[in-house]
Amino acid sequence: MNVSTWCNETEPHAQAFDDDFVYVREPAFIEVNKTVLDPVNETWINVPNANVSDIVRFNCTIHNSGEVNLSDIRFWDILDCSLEYADNATLKIPSHGIGEGEIVLSGDFVFKPKVLHPDNLSWDPYNPGSENFTELCPDVDHHRGIMGWGDTNNDNRVSACDQIYLSGFGVLSSYHVDNVPYTLLVNNTDTEEVMYIDSEQDYEAVNLSAPSGTEWNEVCCCKCRYHLENWTDDGDGNLSAGDNITLRNKKTGEVANYSVEEVTIDLRVSKEWKIDDFVEGQLTLEPCQSIIIEFNATVVKWGVDNNTQFAKGRYDAGPGDWVYDNDTATINVSCMVESATGTGIVRFESTAGNFCEGPNAIGASELPPGATPLPPLEFPHGFFDFKICGLVNGTTVNVTLTLPEPVPVGTQYWKYGPTPDTPVDHWYQIPIGDDNGDNVITIQITDGGLGDDDLTANGRIVDQGGPGNPIAANVPALTPIGIAALVGLLSVIAVLTIRKKRE
């Protein structure tokens, strides 16, 4: 007995035949490549630098790298929270008798995932039926209902990579399921601020009877992640409403206690855009052919932004007939602030961690009351404060400041705060590097050591200070009479010198 077999992205399948041959289906593959335009060199690159308010252009190439035709090509894009879609989308397709060249895409492309909260808090992903959801973000309070579901994974429940059809505002749209997490509504017991947090893992991978040590993300805030440090059960043996938990913010290191108000299962989905909706007829992507999508995005925040393009295509043979791929382009956005004195933009970079607060520009009048008098220097760019988080305890970091204008050799960096030797607020100087007279200087700060205002090796550095220049000595100005007297004196000296040489 011989075997006919095919493989897909999830598992192999086999069938038995009495013929003496083995049939292996031609492989189907789809490949995604996402890049960003470098406007200086006019090339497409993966990791560019950018500034807040810049408009960047993405190129997303979907390539058939397999040996069979692909159809029903779909894509979805997830822009980081530091970017907003900014129009000018175009589509380039190969010639298939249905048009060729560049197609201008109109419409409002939402390249952000939607977080859907169930109206029925006890809904069952194994029996989704026609459940209704309220959108938590980005379109707050919009209502959507499940009108259809494709069980791509064949696991008999709504799960990641499935396809669902959602109604909303009289429109039926196709969405890709990104994740099906547990969701907690929690209340800070000190501040009474509430927030939704989603488990990083699928809900079936989270053990609610032992939740300590699990990781959670604040809903609609892609930068805030939490580690569940401790759990106090109300007696039912599972994480549930009425329990208390302790969360550590992985970005700032801050620890806080929360009461649990709700425990449910949310959906995180992304809208799928069908290439066939933008062309006349149905597009078939043959082997070695590509589709190119380009669009603009505006940088609205600083940070390291990871932006991912996903695509899938359908092939003809075998069950589970979708192939998938994705690619990520990373944009490094400079951390910058306008100086308090109005001299211009100051950029900050750190060799480790991330700026979790600030940098903020501070004028001399905004310093703490005990900070006066100031050190005997000029501070042309004012002062700054910031926090760097996400460090290994005790890490030493180098912070680079790019100032709006050159500073003289001998520039000093002064901070106001405590030091290990003098643990009360006072002015002190920290080492400065790259002191060569240009507009770039570096300072060195150690978590828990010199330069860290909290004096604790806790993975977080707190800074307040600024670069100062020695004050130039004042030279008295000469009056007109003084200038005339000086000229006369110099003339007499010149005459006497000439006579002396003649003698």
pLDDT, tens only, 156-181? 999 998 989 999 877 888 999 999 99
Q: Rounded mean pLDDT of the chain? A: 85
Residue 436 burial (CB count, 10 A) = 10
CA distance 353 to 193: 27
Q: Which of 77-86, 284-293, 307-316 has the highest mean pLDDT?
A: 284-293
pLDDT above 80 (res 490):
no
Q: In 3D, which of 385, 401, 405 has the Cα closest to residue 343?
A: 405
| Average pLDDT of the residues in 346-373 | 88
CA distance 440 to 433: 9
Higher pLDDT, 236 or 224: 236
Looking at residue 459, its pLDDT comes to 87
pLDDT score of 5: 36
pLDDT reported for residue 417? 93
pLDDT at 12: 39
Q: Per residue in 313-340, pLDDT tens?
A: 988 654 458 899 999 998 888 788 899 9
Average pLDDT over residues 226-252: 93
Q: Is 368 helix (H, G, I), strand (E, B) or coil?
A: coil
Average pLDDT value for residue range 237-263: 92
Q: What is the DSSP letter of 244?
A: E
| Mean predicted confidence (pLDDT) in 57-62 | 95
As a whole number of angstroms, the distance between CA 216 and CA 402 comes to 35
Contacts of 223 (CB under 8 A, 6+ apart): 81, 251, 303
pLDDT digits (tens, 9 = 90+) for 106-135: 767 778 899 999 999 999 999 998 899 999
pLDDT value of residue 382 = 95
Contacts with 7 (C-beta within 8 Å, 6 or more apart), sequence order: 13, 25, 27
Which of the four pLDDT bands, split at 50, 70 and 90, describes residue 253? confident
H/E segment holding residue 135: strand 132-137
d(CA 203, CA 20): 46
Cβ atoms 488, 398 nearer than 8 A: no
Assess whether pLDDT exceeds 70 at residue 3: no
Going along the chain from its start, the domains and CATH numbers come out as 2-111+273-333 (2.60.40.1510), 181-265 (no CATH), 335-470 (no CATH)
Note the residue count of the chain: 503
User: Is the model's pLDDT at 415 over the cut of 80?
Assistant: yes
Question: What does the pLDDT read at residue 354?
Answer: 78
CA dihedral 289, 294, 300, 306 (to 10 degrees): 10
pLDDT at 33 over 90: yes
What is the percent of the chain where pLDDT is above 70?
85
Decide which of 256 and 434 is more confident. 256
Q: What is the pLDDT of residues 439-460, one digit of tens each?
A: 999 999 999 999 999 999 988 8
For β-strands 383-389 and 354-362, DSSP reports them as antiparallel
Ranked by mean pLDDT, which of 3-12, 315-324, 351-360, 440-449 comes out on top? 440-449
Task: Output 324-328 pairs: Cβ under 8 A, ≥24 positions apart.
Answer: 324/9, 324/30, 324/161, 325/29, 325/30, 325/31, 325/32, 326/32, 327/32, 327/33, 327/34, 327/60, 328/34
Lowest mean pLDDT among 380-384, 462-466, 471-475: 471-475
Q: Is 103 exposed, middle or buried (0-12, 13-18, 19+ CB in 10 A)?
A: middle
At residue 224 the predicted structure's pLDDT band, cuts being 50, 70 and 90, is confident
Determine the Cα–Cα distance for residues 102 and 47; give it in Å rounded to an integer: 26
Which pLDDT belongs to residue 405?
Answer: 93
Query: DSSP E strands: which ranges in 266-302?
Result: 267-271, 273-274, 284-285, 290-299
pLDDT of residue 478: 53
User: Using CA atoms, how far apart are residues 13 and 321, in angstroms rounded to an integer?
Assistant: 13
Give the pLDDT confidence score for residue 94 in this predicted structure.
84
Whether residue 498 has pLDDT greater than 60:
no
What is the β-pairing status of strands 49-50 and 322-333?
Answer: parallel
Residues 285 and 67: beta-carbon distance below 8 Å: no
> What pTM was estimated for this model as a whole?
0.72
